[in-house]
Structure 1
């Protein structure tokens, strides 16, 4: 992959001894951190708002999840272009242009008049945001002298951890107390501030540019097969999967496109994705575990607030507050993990992370219909422990043995696959949830009869409270569906727990990292 994501010197770093930065280094650093914050925030802010958005636009919550997956896929596909853009136009120009385009796309998302228009603008938003995270990281590092680079990375890393905490809370508060378009409109003043300060403060520190070829055919094939696969996953449950000719056609396009992509990239001199990286055992196994772990994690992040708002009566704000403590634990523990990553075998940290994930999912698999707020929070506190170790440990493992010159390509490829895995996991999770709920509902209905004394008693109680016979049947049907979705949710968390535990075995198939430069390509 020809990306310079996570490379402090992408495109050739500007000398440190540049003219004084207008407005001060602290102001520019704050603006750069806000750039990262905005991009990461927009990966999570919509999660708790999906029921509200879907309701306001007259669609189902299943279709509403396209708001999440469309952004994630477009963002993942744009990552491979980051390195080429930075080398061709310079890091500062690329970053500032990305922020401005992201700001415009955010405004368009808020102004969307239908689900189709919102998805289109979210695709645009994800596509233009690819350079924001690696650009802000590279510029922050070049902004500080060598002895303070650790502080720069600490600022950058904290924003990637704080943003996922703020996303659900902010998204919930805006959806409940204002209107959902403002979850996108709030990016406009922040984006304009960030672009203005960064351009005025860093335009004299632009990196050298050079004309380099771009693998346009490889990029086109990448968009084709990833897009076809994501559309198939998003729409399959609504069209009865492979009984639909459209779904079959999308599957064929995805399969043929993937094979053509592999053949082309293996023979291309300047590939958009450097597949030779997979010759490294740690990279191959590390990326596999990284994607599986992140996919399971992100699936749970999407499902929990969706279930709580749809069936448990939680508002978007309270659904967001359930997830907040998990991020806080990760923020508190991450500095400790970062300081000791060089002293402890990263495989041990990854193992602890997956054990924490497994325990968290097993705890969630024990939810009951009478669970209270803290019952939902406690498993996520345990998950926060795993979050603090998972990203840095897995990145250290998968980048072990990769030459310094190829670190940007390896980091970019791993992040592309991680983001794409999260998008795929969202579609798979919601499909699993709905299908298993339907299965449980059928079984519950088969075990129930209108002549059942308990059912008759329940209907009698409801009618005594003023409900008609039809209303009583409707209320009981609603409760039946509620129980079915609870059982489906428990099934999902149970499977996630065992996937987490099984992933530990793959971690120990990797070799112990031999050390090297610290990895700070933090995941959003």
Structure 2
């Protein structure tokens, strides 16, 4: 085996790891990008899947729900699985499962088989994020950690943003199975690179006993919580028996899980690392950052496509400068923090930039175009990119190297749950705001109001010029006016949501008072 893959023989030597550290970072980032890309790439292909598989919208939703639920169940136990199997073996196995499941998803001929393989794909992909981050923390010396996290951060931030663009292009140019087949060459490349370059952890410890009770409680609690967040808006939240049952399962599952994990000698997730106040503050900030990131990624395409009439590819091209800005911000902030600039100051500045971007989003109108989107989206990317690296560093600075895999799993789970809560809250908030705005605007459109009469007169004149028969002019003018009211209500609802996204992240700034500008602990690379 070593003759075929010569990198294996030196994969755990400090000199070999140090020499290949940037290849290792790119390898684990590539795998993470694949995982995150598939959280959003499916959304734009939903209508095509429904037609091909004969499924309803509610049924096809399980294609996304099953994947994300499997993701969040695996994330917190990825550190334990890494210790049981060995980090390189676990990471390679996760990529292999993800890639094989991707091929099966593309070949699925029924809804049931597609949902099944999406769940398997999610189980494979869920272990990639936390294992990738813990690998980077242990592979790089502290002085280069900012650069390494910048490389990783580019994948974390760009993956969800590029999903709709890539998915839209593949679906339009080829067919929906290609959103899964695209994973095959990239997955194979990531697998081979992992086997050659990714090292085992020098700190990994195999548990003496498998915590089956903790695993079952975690699966019930996290699985029910994520399913509730995915399906709550569709089922009118707590008006639905299904949502109430899921909420109770989530509450009792997680409550019993926490009690059990704190009492057992061999926990599947060691919650004792949460004694560190700095880590806890970082988790909350990561939760709110995830909510801000995923909510804006979710709502801007809805605004651009449903209200402004752009297609998925055009929307993706609007978002592309934001992804580039994020990459620039990640590279820049990593250098600044490495040179001693206060991580807390950079986070505050990034949060302010994001909030200003949301203020610019707040002023979008129904007449906004590409030139109006450019700077708000660029600033959004810059702001979130400035937060990512220093927040990671601060949150993990007190974590012992042996606990890094466990901490990374909890950190990434928290950010993903923040994204799920943000998307669910955005969807619900948008519907409530829309109803409120429609009622408010309708109150000001009394048929005898001078402004309303003037608007109707203008619309009638336009219709007559266009050759509409006089018998239909009046009804069509009222219909057009109602459409304009609907469009304006939509626009006002989007504007207010963007404004609140900024407020939510701004509320996280006081958490920095609980954190100190301490440096990350050195991992296994003390020989550097």
Give the TM-score taking structure 2 as reference length. Answer: 0.82
The secondary structure found in structure 2 opposite 1:129 is helix
- The structure 2 residue matched to 1:251, chosen from 212, 233, 247, is 247
> Which residue matches 2:287?
291
> 349-358 vs 166-175, which deviates more?
166-175
Q: State how far apart, in whole Å, the 2-side matches of 1:457 and 1:67 are.
A: 49
> Which residue matches 1:123?
119
> Which residue matches 2:436?
439
- The structure 1 residue matched to 2:352, chosen from 355, 365, 387, is 355
- The structure 2 residue matched to 1:411, chosen from 408, 412, 431, is 408
- The structure 1 residue matched to 2:79, chosen from 71, 83, 107, is 83
- On the 8 A contact 1:44/1:164 being kept in 2, the answer is yes
> Which residue matches 1:393?
390
Q: Deviations over 1:45-70 (max 9, x none)?
A: 34555676678778898987765554
- The structure 2 residue matched to 1:494, chosen from 484, 493, 499, is 499
Q: Deviations over 1:69-109 (max 9, x none)?
A: 54334222212232232222223322222112111222343
In the TM superposition, 1:328-477 aligns within 5 A as: 328-342=324-338, 343-449=340-446, 452-454=452-454, 456-457=456-457, 460-461=460-461, 463-464=463-464, 465=466, 468=472, 474-477=479-482
**How far is 1:363 from its partner?**
0.8
> Which residue matches 1:38?
34
- On the 8 A contact 2:279/2:396 being kept in 1, the answer is yes
1:180 and 2:176 matched: yes
Q: State how far apart, in whole Å, the 1-side matches of 2:455 and 2:476 are.
A: 14
Sort the Cα spacing of 1:92 and 1:229 in 2 relative to 1 into closer, same or farther, 3 A. closer
> Which residue matches 1:271?
267
> Which residue matches 1:219?
215
- On the 8 A contact 2:399/2:521 being kept in 1, the answer is no
> Which residue matches 2:228?
232
- The structure 1 residue matched to 2:514, chosen from 510, 513, 516, is 510
Aligned length: 503
**How far is 1:323 from its partner?**
1.2
Q: State how far apart, in whole Å, the 2-side matches of 1:419 and 1:99 are.
A: 20
The secondary structure found in structure 2 opposite 1:402 is coil
Sort the Cα spacing of 1:17 and 1:516 in 2 relative to 1 into closer, same or farther, 3 A. closer
**How far is 1:392 from its partner?**
1.3
Sort the Cα spacing of 1:424 and 1:51 in 2 relative to 1 into closer, same or farther, 3 A. farther
Q: State how far apart, in whole Å, the 1-side matches of 2:250 and 2:194 are.
A: 40
Gaps of 5+ in 2: 1-9, 524-528
Q: State how far apart, in whole Å, the 2-side matches of 1:288 and 1:203 are.
A: 30
The secondary structure found in structure 2 opposite 1:237 is coil
Q: State how far apart, in whole Å, the 2-side matches of 1:418 and 1:261 are.
A: 20
**How far is 1:140 from its partner?**
7.5
Gaps of 5+ in 1: 1-11, 520-524
> 137-146 vs 267-276, which deviates more?
137-146
Q: State how far apart, in whole Å, the 2-side matches of 1:409 and 1:168 are.
A: 31
Sort the Cα spacing of 1:378 and 1:271 in 2 relative to 1 into closer, same or farther, 3 A. same
Sort the Cα spacing of 1:292 and 1:118 in 2 relative to 1 into closer, same or farther, 3 A. farther
The secondary structure found in structure 1 opposite 2:232 is helix
**How far is 1:33 from its partner?**
4.8
Q: State how far apart, in whole Å, the 2-side matches of 1:185 and 1:291 are.
A: 32
**How far is 1:492 from its partner?**
0.7
> Which residue matches 2:106?
110
Q: State how far apart, in whole Å, the 2-side matches of 1:60 and 1:383 are.
A: 35
Q: State how far apart, in whole Å, the 2-side matches of 1:33 and 1:333 are.
A: 17
Sort the Cα spacing of 1:151 and 1:427 in 2 relative to 1 into closer, same or farther, 3 A. closer
In the TM superposition, 1:6-25 aligns within 5 A as: 14-16=12-14
The secondary structure found in structure 2 opposite 1:238 is coil
